[in-house]
Structure 1
Amino acid sequence: MPLVPTQELFAVTPLAAGAFNTVLLEQLEAILAGATRAGLPVIVQISENAVAYRGALAPLAAAARTAIEAAGIPAALHLDHATRPDLIEEAVACGFTSVMYDGAHLPWAENIARTREITGRCHRRGVFVEAELGEVGGKDGAHAPGVRTDPGEAARFVAETGVDALAVAVGSSHRMTERTAAIDLELVRALRAAVPVPLVLHGSSGVDDATLAAVVRAGMRKINMSTLLNTVFTGAARDSLESAPETVDPRTYLRPAREAMADRVARLLTLLNSSPAPPAVP
């Protein structure tokens, strides 16, 4: 199936879009296999950090486009947490359907100015833009401990930049390996009432299943996930290697890792798009 424009993917997603990061080809395959099992749309994400690891954007982007086109479910391709305008330009040229410009580390006025400029350039190419509102007057970013997004400031930021989606700080943090984040659901509801574009939850790996379902009911429309899926993938690979330490063929341990991640993707997508929510995933 051809790439689906990100704005159209929101239209065909029942409740909230699952957006999952890939670094390896096996993870890309797992995301699409999981979405196919769930019968639900998905957003495949490639982050600036993943590009740095691989040394270039184009090869992984080409693999993602090819895999998505071969899949039987609607999927969009998103550049995650890009701080470099040149990388955003490259992603647009590579056919990404959306990008996230992360200017949350910048002072308020500079973040608005840069985000507005990038949004204008992307919109002229038909590309959906997500942005992040940092702590006003600070440079710690929207997901530093204790930071919370003010609804009034969020509404102003969207109005002044023209972005299509906004990542907000409501209690989650990146790279959490324990699912113990305390989410402010009242703040989510207040942001949903104040902001006219889809809200995005980053750092969702630290949020337990029941809270993820509640966050969606409160108004989140895009749920980003990376660390939890990396944990599942790596855990399955580790188990395989520990059970057969003589293994040298990487397919032997990457196959169960891919399968475990695909299963978790399917269950997460079902969780995010079920009402009421299904039982928690252990």
Structure 2
Amino acid sequence: MPLIQLREIIDGPAPVPAFNVIQVEHAEAIAAAAEETGASVVLQISENAVRYHGSLRPIGVAALSVAAVARTPIAVHLDHATSEELVREAVRLGFGSVMFDASALPHEENVARTASVVRECHEAGVAVEAELGEIGGKDGVHAPGVRTDPQDAAAYVAATGVDLLAVAVGSSHAMLTRDAELDFELISLLYKAVPVPLVLHGSSGVADESLAAAVRAGMRKINIATQLNKHFTASVRTVLDDHPSLVDPRRYLGAGREAMSAEVARLIRVLEG
């Protein structure tokens, strides 16, 4: 199955699960779950993951390669990039979509820089996601943050030309508990006001029933990272605790990969209802 672009699946009838990749085992686990369920998914690599590897190319090429040989459509996406140069590198490598995150900047600068990135990416046939509002959790503090106003969101999309919009509706990044309280009325209002697909960040902190409800209310792309890492790490820890003399990383990383893949498949089914 050839590597696809996010725009090829975002307008379809099913929600689009987007899972973050830190190492190649993550990409393999997600692809295996996508093949098991028959779902189209997104492998996304964040700026933090790029920093961990020292550059985008090693993990970016690995993710593109995993997607290219998968038996179900998989897109590769750059997540939470704050640097225009990182966006350009992703485009050069063959990513079909990017998120340019200027949400921490003053509004006028956010609009100007995002619009510039959109123009450049659209010339290359690459879709752009942006964020409006304060989703929170990036600094470890899980406050509700500033919710996205529907009219402001519509105006922002018109001014920038973005293809997808991440909105603040009560979730928070990097939560270890799954008790975030989403504002479903706000999601519905945003869905009616904003002419592009909506993205839910911080979905790891959202309970299963609320994730399904968010999709019904209008969310299209659902980003999940921490929840997968919890399962991966728990499995690795169990193997190492049970086998203290073990030194072959394939044994414990393989177990982590299997555990993560099972959780990805389960979450795909939750989102599909």
User: Do they superpose with TM above 0.5?
Assistant: yes
Partner of 2:38: 39
Structure 1 residue runs of 4 or more that deviate by more than 4 Å after TM superposition = none
- Is the partner of 1:192 in helix, strand or coil? helix
- Flag structure 2 segments of 5+ consecutive residues without an equivalent: none
Q: Aligned Cα RMSD in Å? A: 1.2
Partner of 2:257: 258
Task: Name the aligned partner's letter for residue 160 of structure 1.
Answer: A
Check conservation: 1:4, 1:74, Cα contact below 8 A.
yes
Structure 2 distance, partners of 1:194, 1:174, is 25
User: After superposition, where does 1:210-225 map in structure 2 within 5 Å?
Assistant: 210-225=209-224
String of CA shifts for 1:210-265, please: whole Å, max 9, x gaps.
00000000000000000000111001100111111111111111111100100111
- Is the partner of 1:224 in helix, strand or coil? strand
Task: Name the aligned partner's letter for residue 54 of structure 1.
Answer: H
Structure 2 distance, partners of 1:66, 1:38, is 20
Deviation at 1:144, TM superposition (A): 5.5
Structure 2 distance, partners of 1:103, 1:170, is 18
- CA, structure 1 residues 116+48, in 2 after alignment: closer, same or farther (shift >3 Å)? same
Check conservation: 1:38, 1:267, Cα contact below 8 A.
no
Structure 1 distance, partners of 2:254, 2:43, is 20
Structure 1 distance, partners of 2:37, 2:187, is 26
Task: Name the aligned partner's letter for residue 250 of structure 1.
Answer: P
Structure 1 distance, partners of 2:250, 2:111, is 46
Deviation at 1:185, TM superposition (A): 0.3
Partner of 2:5: 5
Partner of 2:115: 116
Partner of 1:133: 132
- State TM-score, norm by structure 2: 0.95
User: After superposition, where does 1:239-278 map in structure 2 within 5 Å?
Assistant: 239-274=238-273
Deviation at 1:11, TM superposition (A): 3.6
Task: Name the aligned partner's letter for residue 145 of structure 1.
Answer: P
User: After superposition, where does 1:1-282 map in structure 2 within 5 Å?
Assistant: 1-12=1-12, 14-134=13-133, 145-274=144-273
- Is the partner of 2:245 in helix, strand or coil? coil
- State TM-score, norm by structure 1: 0.92
Check conservation: 1:15, 1:216, Cα contact below 8 A.
no
Structure 1 distance, partners of 2:106, 2:144, is 18
- Flag structure 1 segments of 5+ consecutive residues without an equivalent: 275-282
- Fraction of identical pairs, as percent: 56
Structure 2 distance, partners of 1:3, 1:144, is 37
- Is the partner of 1:180 in helix, strand or coil? coil
Structure 2 distance, partners of 1:55, 1:179, is 31
Structure 1 distance, partners of 2:125, 2:105, is 26
Check conservation: 1:47, 1:80, Cα contact below 8 A.
yes
- Is the partner of 2:199 in helix, strand or coil? strand
- Is the partner of 2:99 in helix, strand or coil? strand
Structure 2 distance, partners of 1:15, 1:181, is 23
